[in-house]
Amino acid sequence: MFMMNVNLFVFGQTEAIVPPSNRSFSSLEKNVLFFADKRFKVTQSGSATLDLPTLFNGQFFPTYSSASINTQNPYVLLIEDIPLYHAQEGAWIGLTTRYYMATKFKIEVFDVNDGANQWRTIADVSNNAAWHYMARISPGSICPSKIRFTIYNTNDTQNRLGISELFYIQPEGAKAYDGLMVQYNREGNVGIGTNSPMAKLAVEGNILANEIKVKTDISVPDYVFEPDYELKSLEEIADYVKAHKHLPEIPSAKEVRKDGLDLAAINLLLLKKVEELTLYAIKQNEELKHQNIKFCHQESFLQDQLREIQSMKKQNTLLEQRINQLESKK
Residue 102 neighbours by CB under 8 Å, 6+ apart: 95, 125, 128, 133, 151, 153, 154, 161, 163
The pLDDT > 70 percentage for the chain reads 90
pTM, two decimal places: 0.60
**Single-letter residue type at 305:** Q
Give the pLDDT confidence score for residue 86 in this predicted structure: 86
Kindly provide the residue ranges of all beta strands, DSSP E only, lying in the chain, ordered along the sequence: 41-45, 63-64, 75-80, 91-96, 102-111, 118-125, 132-137, 144-154, 162-163, 165-169, 183-184, 190-192, 201-203
**In the predicted model, is pLDDT for residue 155 greater than 90?**
yes
What is the average pLDDT value for the chain, to the nearest integer? Answer: 85
Q: Which of 279, 67, 82 has its CA nearest to residue 168?
A: 82
Q: Measure the CA–CA gap between 39 and 194, rounded to whole angstroms.
A: 7
Domain-wise residue ranges, the chain: 36-177, 209-330
Give the highest mean pLDDT range of 63-72, 185-194, 275-284, 289-298: 63-72
Lowest average pLDDT, out of 182-186, 299-303, 316-320, 323-327, goes to 182-186
pLDDT per residue as tens digits for the range 98-109: 999 999 999 999
The predicted structure's pLDDT at residue 318: 83
Domain spanning 36-177: which CATH class is it, in words? mainly beta
pLDDT recorded at residue 199: 83
Question: Does residue 4 carry a pLDDT above 60?
Answer: no
Highest-pLDDT range among 174-178, 188-192, 249-253: 249-253
pLDDT at 1: 45
Query: What average pLDDT does range 198-220 have in this prediction?
Result: 82
Strand segments, DSSP code E, in 112-245 are 118-125, 132-137, 144-154, 162-163, 165-169, 183-184, 190-192, 201-203
Residues 6 or more apart in contact with residue 83 via CB below 8 angstroms:
32, 173, 174, 195
Among 68, 232, 234, 95, CA closest to 152: 68
| Model pLDDT, residue 25 | 62
Confidence band (pLDDT; 50, 70, 90) for 67?
A: very high
CA atoms within 13 A on the CB side of 280: 12
Q: Any idea what DSSP says for residue 299?
A: H
Whether the CB-CB separation of 271 and 220 falls below 8 Å is answered with: yes
